[in-house]
Amino acid sequence: MRTAPTILHLDMDAFFASAEQAAKPSLRGKAVVVGGLGPRGVVATASYEARVFGVHSAMPMGQARRLAPNAAYLVPRFRLYRDVSDQVMALLRELSPLVEPLSLDEAFVDLEAGGAASDAASARLVGERLRADIRVVTGLTGSVGLAASKMLAKIASEEAKPDGLRLIEPGTERALLGPMSVRTLPGVGPATGDHLRRAGITTVEEIAEAGEDELVRLLGKAHGASLYAMALAHDDRPVVAERDTKSVSVEDTYDVDIHDRVRVQNEVWRLAGRCVERLRGAERSGRTVVLKVRRYDFSTLTRSETLRGPTDDPAVVREAAARLLDSVDTTGGVRLLGVGVSGLADYTQEDLFAQARAQAEADAQPGEAHGDRSASEEGQAAVEEAAEAVDRRWVAGHDVRHEEYGHGWVQGSGLGRVTVRFETPYSGVGRVRTFRTDDPALAPAEPLPLVAVGGAVRGAVGESGAGRGSGSGVV
């Protein structure tokens, strides 16, 4: 293990919720909960204002609503979060070529590899500058941990939350870890924690005192030896630069099990289209199409088909996914569907059948092209129409644009009505208006960037205290 605290761990503070607060002036300083809003929904992130009421990530959404009924409950906007994450990761890569992202809002950085820091003083300066740069570029806050190992850097960033920096001096690790819960160590989840507790081991110091042989007896050779080493603050894991993406996929979990086979086909068609959008957004193609189906009894099936060459043609991916679905029995009901593409490449080898179909369509006479459609064509049109209808759902928190009132976001919808608050990241608190869900002047929109050209978001998140604000009244 190195002798200087030059491994940095960055963890953005309440990332999804903070991004929503920065994007929506009316929610700044108020309780915000982001996650699935249906009966099976869970909390993805809660703002610090919501955490005051006991709301936390992975909590069932129904329980969160009971604890904080006046909070704003929003569906995630991953396109916005990815854009902000890209900005943050770019800042990290300016510090070092060794950046290891763990998620959209979390990463390790080896400061020695980039020459950014070589001792505690220089590491602290880098960490403080990074926090300041993140606030300027994104309007959000992040917490930084600095230590001589990945494990300790992550523990330090957790202690620094929210919006802080914690540096663990080499030589102080054992004293710091000793009184901490065994759950602090990587790889100790609820099951392992309970197993250790039954053996009378509840703190990191007690793991060290038990000895390696006892840990191996309790947990097995690999896990026991690894846990004992970490209890002694030994962690030589290197920071590994981001590896190339191996697959692209999308999936949806449904509030109510889907029994209708046509509905299942419609959903697979829609998911395949979304998957190709992501594939093209990454400027990639792939040769293996994967279908994932979780049935009513929680059994999960996967089916895959490898094409003759990589493609980013939505028709090819949809047809492959449809063929895979033909081999799956969904009569008992479906709770989750997913479509993915793997075997990625930087080029496409167009499917020969797709080329043949395109040529046939180009050669068709106008009368043939617009005449009576076959049953299969009618079915395809119905699927496309159903997919479009699903995509036009007015989702709480998502962006819309009105021809007269401009950009806004959905506060709620139901009974043929949709309520919209018209505001942007750069405006003040906006006005609320209600429309019919079929109002032709209202349409879904893409998220606006959090930072205006030439400056940070006004009223950036982090200026209000974690405990202030009770609720927004948004449902």
The DSSP element (H or E) to which 406 belongs, if any, is strand 406-414
Note whether residue 461 is domain-resident.
Answer: no
- 252 shares its domain with 351: yes
Residue 386's pLDDT is: 41
| Per-residue model confidence as pLDDT tens for the chain (475 residues) | 788 999 999 999 999 999 999 999 999 999 999 988 877 788 989 999 999 999 998 889 999 999 999 999 999 898 899 899 999 999 999 999 999 988 889 999 999 998 999 999 999 999 999 999 999 999 999 999 999 999 999 999 999 999 999 999 999 999 999 999 999 888 787 878 888 999 999 999 999 999 999 989 988 888 888 899 999 999 888 998 866 667 888 888 887 889 999 999 999 999 998 998 888 877 788 889 999 999 888 788 999 998 877 888 888 999 999 999 999 999 889 989 999 998 877 554 444 334 334 433 444 444 333 333 334 444 444 444 443 443 357 889 999 999 999 999 999 988 889 999 999 999 999 999 999 999 999 999 999 998 643 444 444 443 333 333 333 333 3
Is 273 a domain residue? yes
72 DSSP β-pair partners: 32
Residues 349, 286 share a domain: yes
And the tokens for 185?
């160590």
Catalytically active residues are: 106
Q: Do 278 and 354 fall into the same domain?
A: yes
CB–CB of 31/53 below 8 Å? yes
CA distances from 270 to 190, 273, 276, 296, 319 (A): 37, 5, 10, 21, 12
Total length of the chain: 475
DSSP for residue 181: B
Examine residue 10 and state whether it is found in any structural domain, yes or no: no
Examine residue 220 and state whether it is found in any structural domain, yes or no: no
Residue 278, domain member (yes or no): yes
pLDDT the model gives residue 21: 96
359 and 257 share one domain = yes
Please give the pLDDT value at position 179.
Answer: 94
Same domain (yes/no): 359, 272: yes
In a domain, 142, yes or no: no
pLDDT of residue 189: 78
Per-residue pLDDT at 451? 64
Please report the pLDDT score of residue 64 as a whole number: 95
Which residue is associated with the tokens 């929904």? Answer: 41
Structural domain of 434? 399-444
Both 333 and 271 in a single domain?
A: yes
Query: Do 272 and 365 reside in the same domain of the chain?
Result: yes
310 and 406 in a single domain? The answer is: no
* pLDDT score at 346: 57
Q: Is 204 a member of any domain?
A: no
Cβ-Cβ contacts under 8 Å for 87 (sequence gap 6 or more):
137, 138
Q: How many domains does the chain have?
A: 2
What pLDDT is recorded for position 463?
Answer: 38
Same domain, 367 and 257: yes
CA angle 220, 226, 230 (to 5 degrees): 140
- The answer to whether 268 and 338 are in contact (CB under 8 A) is no
What is the Cα gyration radius of the chain?
A: 26
CATH of the domain at 261: 3.30.1490.100
Return the structure tokens found at 300.
């999960």
Sole residue written with tokens 């970490």: 230
Q: Using CA atoms, how far apart are residues 335 and 76, in angstroms rounded to an integer?
A: 19
- Quick one: DSSP state of residue 424? -
d(CA 213, CA 403): 70
What whole-number distance in Å separates Cα of residue 301 and Cα of residue 337? 10
Same domain, 347 and 421: no
- Round to whole Å and give the CA distance between 471 and 222: 48
pTM for this model (two decimals): 0.69
CB 317, CB 275: distance < 8 Å: yes
Q: Is residue 240 part of a domain?
A: no
72-74 and 32-35 strand pairing: parallel
| Residue 365 and residue 403 in one domain | no
One domain for residues 347 and 289: yes
